[in-house]
A and B are shown apart, each in its own frame.
Chain A
Amino acid sequence: MKKIFLILISVVLLTGCYTTLYPPANMDMSVSQDIPDSARQVIVNNYYETTEYYQVPSYHRYSLLWGSYYWDPFYYDYSYYNWRPYYWYGTYYYYNPYSHYWYYYDPYYPWHSGGWTGGSSGNNGDKGRIHKPGYNVLMSSTSESAPFVSVGSNNNSGGISKPGKKIGIDLNSDVTNNNGYYSNPNIQSLGKKPATGTTSDDNLKKSGSTYKAPSNKKPASTVYKPQKQRSSSSSSSSAKSSKQANTKSSSSKNSRNESSSSSSKKSK
Chain B
Amino acid sequence: MTDITMKKTILILLVGIFGFVSAQELVDVISPFYSYSQDAFHQNGTFDYTYPLRTSALSTGSPLSAAIGHATVASGQMIPEYTVNPANLALTKYSSIQAHGLFNNYNGVNANSLGGINYLMSVPVYTGSMSFSAGITKVRDHNLYYQNDDIVQRAKGGLYNWHFGGAMEMQEDIYVGAEVSLLTGNKNNDVDFLDPLSTVDGFIEDSKYFGVTAKVGLNYHVLPVLNIGISMDLPSVVDVDYSIRNYYTNGSGSLNYDVTSPAVYRAGLALTLRIVDLYYSYDYSNWQNLKFTSKEMLQTDIDEINRDITNNFGVVGSHHIGMALHVPLLPLHFYFGYQYMPDVYQGLNALSLGNLIPRELTDRFSSSFSWGASFFLKQGISITAAFETYHIFYDDELEKPKNVNLSLAYYF
Contact = CB atoms under 8 A, between A and B. Distances in A.
Contacts of A61: 326, 331
Interface of A: 1-2, 5, 8-9, 12-13, 15-23, 42-50, 53, 56, 61-66, 70-79, 81-82, 116, 119, 121, 263, 265-268
A74 B230 contact: no
Given A72-B331, A77-B274, A78-B225, A48 B94 contact: yes
A53 B174 CA distance: 23
Contact of A56 (B93, B225, B331, B380): B93
Contact of B274 (A78, A119, A268): A78
B232 interface: yes
A89 to B, nearest CB: 17
Contacts of B232: 2, 5
Contacts of A121: 378-379
Find the residue from A13, A72, A74 having the highest chain B CB count within 10 A.
A74
Contacts of B216: 5, 9
29 contacts: A2-B263, A5-B216, A12-B170, A12-B176, A13-B170, A16-B170, A16-B171, A17-B168, A18-B169, A18-B172, A21-B125, A21-B130, A22-B126, A47-B124, A49-B95, A53-B94, A61-B331, A63-B329, A63-B331, A66-B331, A73-B94, A73-B96, A74-B382, A77-B274, A78-B272, A78-B274, A79-B224, A81-B224, A266-B125
For the complex of A and B, list the 3 residue pairs with the smallest distance between their C-beta atoms, beginning with the closest.
Answer: A19-B128, A265-B124, A81-B224
Given A12-B171, A13-B176, A20 B412 contact: no
B330 interface: yes
Interface in B260-293: 263, 265, 272-274, 284
A71 B379 contact: yes
Nearest to A263: B124
A119 B331 CA distance: 16
B36 to A, nearest CB: 24
Nearest to A80: B224
A49 B120 CA distance: 13
B78 interface: yes
B129 A47 contact: yes
A128 to B, nearest CB: 13
B273 A78 contact: yes
Contacts of A23: 126
A49 B412 contact: yes
A28 B137 CA distance: 41
Given A9-B176, A9-B218, A78-B224, A21 B263 contact: no
Find the residue from A8, A20, A63, A76 having the highest chain B CB count within 10 A.
A76
Given A20-B126, A45-B125, A73 B273 contact: no
B80 interface: yes
Contacts of B172: 18
A45 B274 CA distance: 22
Contacts of B64: 74
A8 B230 contact: yes
A62 B96 CA distance: 22
A264 to B, nearest CB: 8
B127 interface: yes
Contacts of B411: 71, 73
A9 B178 CA distance: 11
Interface in B106-136: 122-130
Given A17-B168, A19-B168, A81-B224, A70 B128 contact: no
A62 B329 CA distance: 5
A75 B333 contact: yes
Nearest to B335: A74
Interface string B158-182: 0000000000111110101000000
B77 interface: yes
Contact of B218 (A8, A62, A75): A8
Interface string B15-31: 00000000000000000
B171 A116 contact: no
Contacts of B122: 47-49
A100 B244 CA distance: 73
Contacts of B51: none
A267 B126 CA distance: 5
B176 A266 contact: no
Contacts of B329: 62-64
Find the residue from A5, A20, A23, A265 having the highest chain B CB count within 10 A.
A5
B374 interface: yes
A160 B398 CA distance: 76
A65 B331 contact: yes
